[in-house]
Structure 1
Amino acid sequence: MSDHLPQDDNRPVTEQGPLPDTTIPIVVYVLHLAGMVTGGLTSLVGVVIAYVYRGNGPTWLDEHYRYQIRTFWIALLYFGISGLLTLVLIGFLTWLAAVVWLVIRCVKGLKALNEKRAPENVDTWWI
């Protein structure tokens, strides 16, 4: 009889010790989503929080902060371009696409955070 328990290979890889608190990254994702209603003000607060907390946790959690920071800057670009394009009326469509992009990106980040793993494709400009 073997003294070790079988391991589930589908479990996320975690570092030794207690799992870190994920409240702050959750708040940042929610602030990004709320930014659609507040004109980006809460998203600005969220990115400041992400910059402050980046580098204070395990690698997988730091990747969430990096993902959130990139999400802010890319969203700023996408919404800025959409604002300019409203002058030729196509901006309303690109704005809608940017909203969908932001929601999907935040939901993917929250899902990965819930699974205690880094988000996928942190460096992508897409989803």
Structure 2
Amino acid sequence: MDKPSSSSNTLATLAYASYLLSTFLPFVWFAGLIIAYYNRSSAEGILVSHYQFIIRTFWISLLFLMIGALLSYVMIGFLIIALTIIWMVVRCVKGLLALNKNQPIENPTSWLFG
């Protein structure tokens, strides 16, 4: 696989890190999405799959967080929100590990963990 430049690799790492940081500071979540969308068109090699994975992680998380928020009135929503946060953290850690090994995400369109 092509080895990404260190600046491109750093931007993808920042996108993952912003998602992880968003578990404590929710507004940081959007920074990762902006980084991924902005750099997706110029990405090469393994970074294409990582940016696609980052973007899908955002939209799937948003969907389930909204469902969890709506269902929080019947108490099951809190469980959905907690599971969504755990799911997002696992995806980000898996993405960071693959990025550090200069490996692409095998299935970036997967709803699970790639």
TM-score by length of structure 1 reads 0.81
Q: 1:94 maps to what in 2? A: 80
CA offsets, 1:3-27, max 9 Å, x none?
xxxxxxxxxxx23xx6412111110
Partner residue in 2 for 1:43: 29
1:29 paired to 2:16: yes
Q: Identify which of structures 1 and 2 has the higher relative contact order when contacts are C-alpha pairs closer than 8 Å and 6+ apart.
A: 2
Gaps of 5+ in 1: 1-13
Determine the C-alpha separation between the residues in 2 that align with 1:105 and 1:81: 19
Which is richer in helix? 2
Does the Cα contact within 8 Å between 1:20 and 1:57 map onto a contact in 2? no
- Superposed displacement of residue 57, structure 1: 2.9
Give distance in 2, aligned partners of 1:50 and 1:118.
15
Flag the structure with larger Rg.
1
Matched, 1:69 2:65: no
Q: 2:105 corresponds to which residue?
A: 119
Measured in 1, the distance between the counterparts of 2:108 and 2:91 equals: 10
CA distance in 2 between partners of 1:90 and 1:38 (Å):
23
List structure 1 segments (4+ residues) > 3 angstroms apart after TM superposition. none
- In structure 2, C-alpha distance between the alignment counterparts of 1:117 and 1:111, rounded to whole Å: 9
Q: Shift of the alpha carbon at 1:121?
A: 2.2
The number of residue pairs the alignment matches comes to 111
Kindly, what percent of the aligned residue pairs are identical? 37
Root-mean-square deviation (CA), in Å? 1.3
Q: Corresponding residue for 1:53?
A: 39
